[in-house]
Chain A
C-alpha cells in the first residue's frame, strides 16, 4: 500500500520493499520459520553441525538473560557464566544416576532455574547498592568464586571431571513407539528443536516483560534512578528483580547446556571468558535489543563454534598448511578477528548492530 502510493516504482523494487518491511516487522516469525524448517532441508544438521547450532541457541538464551541486567537495567555484570554453571550443575546433581534424586528433565529444569534465581537474589541483595564499576568487580569476583567452588567441592560436583552422564530429556519415556531418551541421545535434531522452542519462549517472555510494569521500571532505573524512586519505585527491588530474572534465564540456559552435552564439562567451561564473550555479544548486537542480542551471539559464538572449525578443516583439506603453522590456521586468528569486529562495530555503529528502539531514537535525535 505504501509503495503503490508513491510514484509507481518498478515491480521488483516494490517487492523488495515489501520483503524488507516484512523482515523488519516480522523478523522473529521469519527467523523461527526458517530455523524450524532448516533440519528438514539441511541434512548436516543431523550431524555435528546440529549440535553446534544447538549450543548457539543455548548461548542466545544466556545472552538474553544477561541483556536483562546490562541492557535494560544498565548494571554491568561480568559473572553471568557463574549462573550458567549453577544451572548446569544443579541440573546434573538432580538427574545423574550417581545421586538419589534422579528427577525428570522438566522438574530438574524448573528447580535449577529457581535455584539460579535464588542465588542471584542472594548475591544481589547485599551488592546492588554498589554502582557501576564496583558492581562489575563484585560480579567478576563472584564468577571466579563459583568456578573455584565448583572445582573444590569434589564430592558434590566431581571436581575437574564434572558430573556425567546427565540423562537426556524424556529418558525412559516412550512416545509413539519412539524411546525419547534414546532419540535425544542419538539424533541432535531433537535437542535442536528443544532449544529452539525454549529460545522462542524466552524471546516471547522478554518481550512481554519489556512492555510491562517491570520492564518499564528497569529502564526507568537505568535512565534516572532518583527520578524513578521519586515516582514511588523502589530502585533496590527493581534491580534485584533484574538480577533474579537474569540469573534465572542464565540458569535455564545452563540446564539445557548440561543436558545437551550430557555432562557438565569441567568448571572451566563457566569461567570469565564465557561471561565476557556474552557481554561482548550483547554490546555488539545492541544493548537492550532482543534481535540485536540474538544477532550478536550468532556472529560471535557462531564464528567460534561453527565457522572457525569449518574453516580450519577446509584449510586442512585443501592442504594449504602442510607444516601446521599456527599463522595459517584460521582459529589462530580467532581473537584478532574478534577484536577487529568489535572495534569496527564501535566505530561505525556505536549503539550496536540492531540498536533498541529507544537507543535508536536517541541517536536519531543526535543527528537531526
Chain B
C-alpha cells in the first residue's frame, strides 16, 4: 500500500532539516487578504509542523477558504508572507528567465525593425536582385546587398527584356539600357558619382559629376534625366530608414523584454508554482476533470513525474513509455489508497458524491505533495462516511504527509487534529490542542453567540 515517494532526495532532506531545526513546514506570517474594503483574513499567524494534522475551523464566512486560496497561490496576499520549508513560494529569477526575456525582446525588436525598414523592399534588394541578374547566390553577396540597401547603392534590374539601373530598393529608376554590359558600366559611373557625393569633402553637390556622366555616354537618348535631387537623395543613403530600423529594434527589444518580465512577475506566485513546490489541495466545491476517467484524473496529478517532451510523446520514446507506465502504477496505487481502485475506468463525473471527494484526495496525494490542504473533505457525508474519511486523513499523515484541514464536522476535527486554529471574521481567535480549543470561551462565543 505504501507509495514510492515522488519527491526528490534533496527536497526530502530539506524537509527533514526544516523539521529538525525547529522551523515549521508551513509558516504563515501575518497574512492579510483584503477585497476592496472587505477584510477577509486579518494578520493570520499559523505554523504547521512537519507530520502533523492541523485543522482550521470557524463559522461560515470566517475566511478559512480565503486563507487556503492564499496559501495555494490562487489569491495574492495583501500583506504578510507564506513560507514553505523555510522559503517563500515564489519562482526565483533564474538565468533562463533572463535569457527568455532577452530572446523575446530580440524577436520583438526584429519584428519592429523589419516593419520600420520596409522588409518588402529589403527582400527585393537582398534576395531577389541577385536572382534577376543571374549571378549565383552567395552569403557574401547577400551581405553586400544588405549593406547596399541602407546606403542606397545602385543595382541592375530586368524589366520587359531591358536592363534598368535602379536604386537598391527599386523605387528610383535611373536609366534603361538594351544590354547588360551597357547597363553595368552606366551603373558603375552613376555609382561613382553618388559615392563622390557621399565621401567628398564638404559633400557639396557637384553638378560636374552629372555632366561627366552625360559626356561619357553621348547620344544615349535612353539615359533618364538623373536629377540632382535624386543623386543627393541616393548619396544621403537611407539614413532615415536606418535610424528608424535601429529605433524599432531598440523599442521592440525594450517592449518585449519588459513585457516578458512583467508577465513573469505577475505569475511568480501562481497556483502551479505553489503546487510544484510541494503543496497540493482539494476544493470545497469538488473540482474534478469530470469528463476524464478516474484514472486519468489521478494521472493529471502525476503529470510532472512523466519525463519526455513532445517528441518523446509522439515517438513513444522508451523514457516516456517507462514514465507513463510508472505513473499508471502509481495512480492505481493512489486509487487503492482511497479505495477507488475498482472505479479506474469510470468517468469521474459519474461517481457518487463521496467517491468524488475521495478521488480528489487521491489526485492530491498522487502529486507527491508534502503538504495537503483539504477543504471540507467531509462536507455532505453521513456519519459512517465521515468516520472513514477521518481514518483516511490519518493514513495520509502516516505516509509522512502533513495535512492542513478545514472541516465543520467536529467529530472529525477533534479525532484527527494535533492542533486546531479557530478563525472568526478573518481573525484567529484561538489555537491549541483540540481539548484546549473546546474549552476556549471565545470559541464557544463565536460558534454559539455571546448569550450562550
Contact = CB atoms under 8 A, between A and B. Distances in A.
Contact of B130 (A100, A152, A232): A100
B347 A362 contact: yes
A212 B137 contact: no
B289 A365 contact: no
Contacts of B276: 232
A241 B350 contact: no
B281 A99 contact: no
B31 interface: no
Contacts of B308: 213
A209 interface: yes
Nearest to A237: B272
- Max count, chain A CB within 10 A of own CB: residue among B121, B131, B170, B292: B292
Interface in A213-254: 213-214, 216-217, 219-220, 223-224, 226-236, 241, 245
Interface string B116-134: 0001110110011011000
A361 B350 contact: yes
B310 A245 contact: yes
A91 B104 CA distance: 25
B104 A233 contact: no
Contact of B292 (A232, A233, A358, A365): A358
Contact of B316 (A129, A208, A229, A362): A208
Contact of A223 (B130, B291, B316, B363): B291
B321 to A, nearest CB: 10
Contacts of A213: 299, 303, 306, 308, 313, 323-324
Interface string B301-334: 1011010101001101000100110000000000
A212 B316 CA distance: 9
Contacts of B123: 153, 155-156
**Which secondary structure dominates where chain A touches chain B?**
helix
B171 to A, nearest CB: 12
Contacts of A359: 291
Given A154-B120, A362-B291, A230 B275 contact: yes
B267 interface: yes
Contacts of A233: 272, 275, 300, 303
A122 interface: yes
Contact of B290 (A223, A228, A229, A232): A223
Given A231-B275, A365-B350, A155 B121 contact: yes
Nearest to A219: B292
A145 to B, nearest CB: 12
A232 B303 contact: yes
Given A100-B130, A100-B137, A208-B316, A230 B291 contact: no
B131 A100 contact: yes
A99 B126 CA distance: 11
B367 interface: yes
Interface string A190-222: 000000000000000100110011101101100
Interface residues of B, number: 53
Contact of B128 (A98, A209, A214, A217): A98
B119 A365 contact: no
A361 B363 CA distance: 21
B334 to A, nearest CB: 12
B425 to A, nearest CB: 26
A220 to B, nearest CB: 5
Nearest to A156: B123
Given A100-B127, A233-B272, A236-B267, A220 B292 contact: yes
B324 A212 contact: yes
A362 B350 CA distance: 8
B74 A226 contact: yes
B128 A229 contact: no
Nearest to A129: B263
Interface string B78-100: 00000000000000000000000
B435 to A, nearest CB: 33
A145 B8 CA distance: 48
Nearest to B290: A223
B314 A216 contact: no
B152 to A, nearest CB: 17
A237 B320 CA distance: 19
B313 A234 contact: no
A217 B314 contact: no
A287 to B, nearest CB: 11
B300 A220 contact: yes
Nearest to B132: A98
B120 A232 contact: no
B259 interface: yes
A226 B287 contact: yes
A210 to B, nearest CB: 10
Contact of B304 (A98, A216, A229, A232): A232
B296 interface: yes
Contacts of B107: 122
A229 B287 contact: no
A287 B294 CA distance: 21
A229 B306 contact: no
Interface string B237-260: 000000000000000000000010
Contacts of B313: 208-209, 212-214
Contacts of B296: 216, 219
12 contacts: A153-B119, A153-B123, A155-B121, A156-B123, A208-B316, A216-B300, A219-B291, A224-B287, A226-B74, A230-B275, A231-B301, A232-B272
Interface of B: 72, 74, 104, 107, 119-121, 123-124, 127-128, 130-131, 137, 170, 259, 263, 267, 270-272, 275-276, 280-281, 283, 287-292, 296, 299-301, 303-304, 306, 308, 310, 313-314, 316, 320, 323-324, 347, 349-350, 363-364, 367
- What 4 pairs between A and B have smallest CB-CB spacing? A100-B137, A232-B275, A227-B287, A223-B289
